[in-house]
């Protein structure tokens, strides 16, 4: 299947509608019926401002976070329209990709008749 890999970048201390922004994006993906999203946290990074964001023993709130989605063109269009309607600013990367599943499908027997 052809589509896009979309990666949003934020920090754990950013909130939207009372939730951590990363969690809100994961919930939005579920609500919109997208087929998956991954929230990953980083140890350290910096953004366009040059400010260092990192995970420290005493302060985890500034830890960098990425939300990754592999989605179809139609899903991408719907997602970005929805995000444009929200009062947030998010840096993202959007790259064309091919994606799918390889190997045995869930529920199939390992024995052939």
Residue 45: CB atoms within 10 A of its CB come to: 15
Domain ranges of the chain: 2-98
Question: Distance (Å, rounded) from C-alpha 15 to C-alpha 13?
Answer: 6
Top-level class of domain 2-98 = alpha beta
pLDDT value for 43: 60
pLDDT of residue 113: 47
pLDDT the model gives residue 9: 92
Instruction: Extract the tokens encoding 27.
Output: 């919930």
pLDDT of the chain, 113 residues: tens digit per residue: 999 999 999 888 888 999 999 999 999 999 999 988 999 887 665 556 665 555 554 455 567 889 999 999 999 999 999 999 998 999 999 999 999 999 987 655 555 44
Model pLDDT, residue 30: 97
48 DSSP 8-state letter = T
Cβ 86 vs Cβ 4: under 8 Å? no
């Amino acid at each position: 299947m052809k589509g896009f890999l979309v990666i949003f970048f934020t920090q754990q201390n950013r909130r939207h509608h009372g939730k951590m922004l990363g969690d809100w994006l994961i919930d939005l993906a579920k609500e919109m019926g997208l087929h998956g999203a991954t929230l990953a946290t980083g140890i350290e990074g910096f953004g366009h401002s040059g400010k260092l964001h990192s995970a420290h023993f005493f302060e985890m709130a500034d830890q960098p976070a990425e939300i990754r989605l592999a989605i179809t063109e139609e899903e991408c269009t719907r997602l970005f329209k929805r995000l444009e309607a929200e009062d947030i600013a998010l840096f993202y990367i959007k790259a064309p990709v091919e994606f799918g599943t390889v190997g045995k499908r869930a529920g199939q027997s390992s024995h052939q008749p």
